[in-house]
Amino acid sequence: MKQFLEGNACVLGLQWGDEGKGKIVDFLGESAQLVVRYCGGANAGHSVSIGGRKLSTHLLPVGVFRPGILNIIGNGVVLDPEVLFREIDTLAAAGIAITPDNLKVSYKTHVVMPWHKQEDAARETAAGAGGIGTTKRGIGPCYADKMHRSTAIRVADLANEEKLRERINHIATERNKLFAALYNAPPLDPKPIFEQYRDFGRRLAPFVADTTAILLAAIKSGKRILYEGAHAVLLDVDHGTYPYVTSSNCSALGLFTGAGVPPRSVQQFIGIMKAYSTRVGGGPFPSEQNNDTGNYIRERGHEYGTTTGRPRRCGWLDTVAVKYSVDLCGVTAVTMTLLDVLTGLDQLRICTGYKQKNGQLLDGFRADMDALADVEPVYETLPGWQADISACRRFEDLPPQAQAYVKRVEQLIGCPIRIVSVGPDRAATLMR
């Protein structure tokens, strides 16, 4: 496994999230010294399973589960201190210590404030069925304020208490007027918000650092860095199925701005794909199976959100979509996860193209909801397998149908599948 990581690597989702990035970052973390989050916030939910114990993080990089790893929350993340400290306290109770020795937070990271969560929830409620289906974690409004600039608060701003008090007063007063007019929302009281965020700032202070300087020094000294992508390419605000996306550049393309490192300092891009497709929230999903097959996958794969508990929409693997992600991000190797979930299905279908209403075949993926709205998936059918594969530890031990499935997908996406995962545990990971 040590040979697998050559230089610094980014692990990223190739579909609509929840591909098992947490499991793979944890697995590859054995040969890394730093693990870095560069995008998104508490809308992510990354699970690992260590010795049968399931642990999840939303904001902390999953490197916290391996002693000796320095974990970094980069400038491209939007940080909700309430969630961060809850996560730190929960892990402390489980015997995992998070200290300034194993966690650093960029002073440039933007802070999720109570009005961001209020706005996210109010907008979704007001939109009704036309909403995006966000996680209501305040992610979009926080990134919007980052772009507005004059109404944003960064981690560094928490340290200047007098200025923070004024800023919170100013922004809360403005938001209260706006939200009363738009959503008839009750006003937020700036005083307790200031006190709470002042205290968060004091607790956060020992973790705050110039994380780019730390990363540049690590690169120079040849330490191995693993970048932990959150969300996925098809949820990227520029390259995903807009507007049904999240608000960050969560493909590999956002790594360099979100972590603050030079593009040539990353050598490997490891794309993670499920053996099928899922998506949470609204948006186009051509190969969705709103039927017994979808239900079978949901129950066997426990496809319920790590962050919100919502049932995930399930469907057949879409290699048109995955190939788009592989090509866009220059993916160097792919991991296929959750192959064990497909056990027991007589036949497996793979979406290899989209037929438009006019009968013509679309020549590739379109990150546009109107283009994908009415397409009819074109499927290839492969035989399934019945034997439980979750105890397999070598690729060659898989039933021939499972091996053939992996090899066919590899051809369709044009990238080698170097790791296959057949269970949540670290050991259930087959290297090819």
Question: Is 306 a binder of Mg ion (CB under 5 A)?
Answer: yes
Residue 60 CB, nearest approach to ligand IMO (Å) = 13
CA 52 from chain center: how many Å? 23
Q: Confirm or reject binding of residue 20 to ligand GDP (CB under 6 A).
A: yes
Cβ 45 to Mg ion, closest distance in Å? 4
Q: How far apart are the first and last CA of the chain?
A: 10
> Residue 49 binds which entry of ligand IMO, Mg ion, ligand GDP, none, with Cβ cut-offs from 5 to 8 Å by kind?
ligand GDP
In 3D, which of 293, 257, 272 has the Cα closest to residue 384?
Answer: 293
- Does residue 325 contact residue 356 with C-beta atoms inside 8 Å? no
The SS3 of residue 342 is helix
Output 170 or 393, the one with its CB closest to ligand GDP.
393
Torsion sign (Cα): 385, 391, 395, 396: negative
Q: Which residue is nearest to ligand IMO (CB)?
A: 281
Which two tokens mark 91? 């892990």
Site size toward Mg ion, by CB under 5 A: 3
Instruction: List for the chain the helix, strand, coil content (%; round to 5).
Output: 40, 20, 40
By the 10 Å C-beta count (0-12 exposed, 13-18 middle, 19+ buried), 27 is classed as buried
Q: Is 102 in the site for ligand IMO (CB under 6 A)?
A: no
Q: Which does 140 bind (CB under 5 to 8 A by kind): ligand IMO, Mg ion, ligand GDP, none?
A: ligand IMO
Q: Taking a C-beta distance cutoff of 8 angstroms, is the pair 239, 253 a contact? A: yes
Task: List the interface residues with ligand GDP, window 323-352 (CB under 6 A).
Answer: 337-338, 340-341
Q: What is the C-alpha separation between 329 and 358, in angstroms, rounded?
A: 31
Q: Kindly report the number of other CB atoms within 10 A of residue 231's CB atom.
A: 29
Q: Which does 134 bind (CB under 5 to 8 A by kind): Mg ion, ligand IMO, ligand GDP, none?
A: ligand IMO
3-state DSSP assignment of residue 339: helix
Query: In this chain, which of 246, 268, 335, 337 binds ligand IMO, going by CB under 6 A?
Result: 246
- Beta partners for residue 47, in sequence order: 56
> Do residues 63 and 103 lie in contact, with contact meaning Cβ atoms separated by under 8 Å?
no
Per-residue contact string for residues 1-40; x = within reach of ligand IMO by CB under 6 A? ------------x---xx----------------------
Given 26, 46, 120, 239, the catalytic residue: 46
Q: Which of 18, 80, 120, 318 is catalytic?
A: 18
Asked if 47 interacts with ligand GDP (CB under 6 A), we say: yes
Residue 260 or residue 283: which is nearer to ligand IMO going by CB?
Answer: 283
- What would the two tokens of residue 19 be? 């591909």
Which of 13/61 has CB closer to ligand GDP?
13
Instruction: Decide if residue 41 touches ligand GDP (CB under 6 A).
Output: no
Contact in structure between 46 and 57 (CB atoms under 8 Å): yes
User: How many residues at the interface with ligand GDP, by CB under 6 A?
Assistant: 21
Query: Closer to ligand GDP at the Cβ: 141 or 424?
Result: 424
18 assigned to active site: yes
Question: Whole-angstrom Cα distance, residue 159 to residue 37?
Answer: 22
Q: Report if residue 281 touches ligand IMO, rule: CB under 6 A.
A: yes
Q: Which residues, in sequence order, are CB contacts of 360 under 8 Å at separation 6+?
A: none
| Integer Cα distance of 261 and 259 in angstroms | 6
* Kind plus residue range of the DSSP H or E element containing 208: strand 208-209
Site for ligand IMO in 128-167 (CB under 6 A): 132-135, 137, 139-140
Q: Does 18 bind Mg ion (CB under 5 A)?
A: yes
* Residue 312 lies near ligand GDP (rule: CB under 6 A): no
**β-pair partners for 72:** 36, 104
Rule CB under 6 A: say whether 23 interacts with ligand GDP.
Answer: yes
Question: Which active-site residues does the annotation give?
Answer: 18, 46
Q: Which residues bind ligand IMO (CB under 6 A)?
A: 13, 17-18, 43-46, 132-135, 137, 139-140, 230-232, 235, 246-247, 280-281, 306
Q: Which residues bind Mg ion (CB under 5 A)?
A: 18, 45, 306
Q: Which residues bind ligand GDP (CB under 6 A)?
A: 13, 17-23, 45-47, 49, 306, 337-338, 340-341, 421-424
